[in-house]
Amino acid sequence: MAKRLLLAIACVAACSGASAAAWFPVPGAPEVNVDLGSLEQQGQRVVLWVRWWGRAPLLAQDAPAVHRSTLRLEFDCGARAVRMLEAQGHDAQGRAVFMSSVPGPSRKVTGEDLAWTYDAVCEAARAGS
């Protein structure tokens, strides 16, 4: 019984890691926040958690309606491309209604909010390296 409880606590802690983050707004994209504390950089590639109010543009269209999307994204700052690594969708009460840890394909950055996010993330990575 104690092992099950410890496993449950570990799973909750791992799954809710993004919700305990310190979010910073993306200049020019008021619906988007990034967790700079989660930023990992390897060469031209930058990975971090990004939060959208509403459905993020990279979420699958068949995902249920979400109030807030939290995505772990990989930005390729040399190719102006982005790839979704993980996704979480929450309803208005904060309950998880969608989760995926299946990485998506790399795609070119399109759309104003995603373009502002790409620019902010890649600039933060350049400034920090």
pLDDT at 18: 45
Distance CA 118, CA 111 (A): 11
pLDDT at 39: 94
What is this structure's pTM? 0.78
- For the chain, 129 residues long, the average pLDDT of each consecutive 10-residue run is 34 45 90 94 96 83 79 97 95 91 94 94 88
pLDDT at 79: 97
pLDDT at 75: 98
User: First and final CA of the chain: distance in angstroms?
Assistant: 47
CATH topology (fold) of 20-128:
Lipocalin (2.40.128)
For tokens 């390729």, what's the residue? 76
pLDDT at 12: 35
Distance CA 129, CA 127 (A): 6
Classify residue 41 as left (phi > 0), alpha (psi -120 to 50) or beta: beta
